[in-house]
Amino acid sequence: MRRTITECRPIGRANSTDGAGRVALSGEARYDAQMAATDKLVGVIGGMGPDATIDFMAKVIDLTPARTDQDHIRMLVEHNPHIPSRQQAMAGTGEDPGAVIASLAARLEAGGADFIVMPCNAAHAWQPDILKAITIPFVSIVEESVVAAQEAGDGAVGLLTTPGCFAAGVYQRALANQDAVLPTEGELAETLAFVERVKAGDKSEAVSAGLRALANRLLSRGASTIIAACTELPLVLDQSMFNVPFVSSTDVLAIKTVKLALGQEPLPEP
């Protein structure tokens, strides 16, 4: 599923010369030079999971108005699938990944990143650890997804997510002033089972249909917008499958990343 950012203009190379033989930059070439002067290095805490990180990066590439390699956004990626399980940590059965995630963030800043993103919703339970480790901005996929859902339409927001993300309460806090339809304990367990199948490489119609059925249960209880609050979900679900706004947290973060990296929006305060 491809999306475009209307604020980004195509980059051209055509120049002309003035009467003295000097090179006069065309409007598009001036834009090219401006982008080179203002683009930011994106730090990505990745590997949670691997396919979801690659999907996020692919969407950033698709959204960038580039004609050559050099026109693309620079990304410094810590693609580390060995980060301890967020689901197990939140369930109290696994190692706390906070220190590892924070160390990756600090390494990205040391590597020159201007801001950091993390295409994993559940891992935002450890956002406080990240903020303590860095002095550059961190862009929250949770906050951006909630804003996108509120802009997508009126009415209640249905939260399609995993037990770990739900237990962390990151979305419930972000939706505190918004009507929300939350999953039941059984629905959370079903969602996790499908997400684990996606992580194992199963992107079949059966998995997609099962997750659509879970989203439809939220709709049947009054939701009018769905947030896919797990970056594995957009690997098998997209807007074409729903008659209501479907907010892919991966897409939302990719769109914000491109805007910030190209200087179309100012970086948030650290």
Distance between CA atoms of residues 27 and 68, nearest Å: 18
Of 144, 211, 123, 225, which is closest to residue 180 (Cα–Cα)?
Answer: 225
Among candidate residues 45, 142, 230, 237, the one labeled active-site is 230
Q: Is there a catalytic annotation at residue 8?
A: no
Give 172-190 as a DSSP string.
HHHTTTS-EEPPPHHHHHH
Q: Going by C-beta distance under 8 Å and a sequence separation of 6 or more, which residues neighbour residue 16? A: 23, 24, 26
Q: Which of 120, 167, 227, 253 is catalytic?
A: 120
- The answer to whether the beta carbons of residues 46 and 14 sit under 8 Å apart is no
Within 13 Å, how many C-alpha atoms sit on residue 36's CB side?
12
How far apart, in whole angstroms, are the C-alpha atoms of residue 36 and residue 25? 14
Tokens 């090179």 belong to: 23
DSSP state of 138: B
Q: Name the 3-class secondary structure at 154.
A: coil
Write out the catalytic residue numbers: 120, 230
